[in-house]
Copies of this chain bind each other. A is one copy, B any other.
Amino acid sequence: MSSERPDISPLTLNRLSVYLRCLKLLEVEGIERISSQELADRFGLSSSQIRKDLAQFGDFGVRGVGYQTSPLAERLESLLNLDVQHRLIVVGMGNLGSALARYLGFNDRSFQIVAGVDSAPERIGRKIGSVSVMPFDDLETVVTESQADIGVIAVPQEAAQAAYDRLVATGIRAILNFAPAVLDEVDGVSLKNVDMRIHLEELSFFL
């Protein structure tokens, strides 16, 4: 059916993203080549884990030498699909949503905010950063016209499931959820939850 993605654990995927960030920092410093050991030391990672993670996707390194910073960064970017620009639509333009609209995809090559919707009449038409707030009811049209491919949920808990379902109905296949809700997921749609309350509660535990 859909084209096959290599089978990769979420934890590894997370780390690839981290490695990419580290490599970018090294590029800025002008470092062209680095060993897994050195990379691990610098950023508090594990060298064998770096090697194992990277080896999954081809022989990026050269024995006796290490990894070439820029080519590896490029391979990771393309593996993570970051060479295509993604278009975000934010559902819920309250405090958090507006801030995300201004913050996410700001000054960024891979992610760009293309639309924002809200159901509160008083917010509709407002201009937040580069987008104007459109009515939630027009979600389908807004998604189609803006060609958004990632949905961002920034509505209150009780509205989160509806926002999710509506986004999925528009054909969106990747969703970042900031609402503190356990969503009923649809197959074939990637979902990442950013749950600040859970994080705060974890911190609270250690206090």
Q: Are A110 and B204 in contact (CB under 8 A)?
A: yes
Q: Are B176 and A196 in contact (CB under 8 A)?
A: yes
Q: Are A200 and B150 in contact (CB under 8 A)?
A: yes
Contact string, A162-181, partner B, CB cutoff 8 A, digits 1/0? 00000000000111100010
- Known: A5-B206, A86-B200, A203-B174. Is A182-B96 also a contact (CB below 8 A)? no
Q: Are A176 and B194 in contact (CB under 8 A)?
A: no
Chain A, 84-117, CB within 8 A of any chain B CB: 84, 86, 94-96, 98-100, 102-104, 106, 110-111
Give the number of chain A interface residues (Cβ < 8 Å).
56
Bound-complex Cα distance A94 to B98 (A): 12
- With both chains docked as a complex, state the minimum distance between the C-beta of A129 and any C-beta of chain B, in angstroms: 8
The 8 nearest A-B residue pairs measured at CB: A99-B99, A174-B203, A190-B206, A95-B102, A17-B201, A192-B199, A17-B198, A81-B204
Can you list 22 pairs linking A and B with CB atoms under 8 Å apart? A5-B205, A5-B206, A13-B202, A17-B198, A17-B201, A17-B202, A18-B198, A44-B185, A80-B201, A84-B204, A95-B102, A99-B100, A110-B201, A111-B204, A150-B204, A174-B203, A174-B207, A176-B200, A176-B203, A190-B206, A190-B207, A194-B196
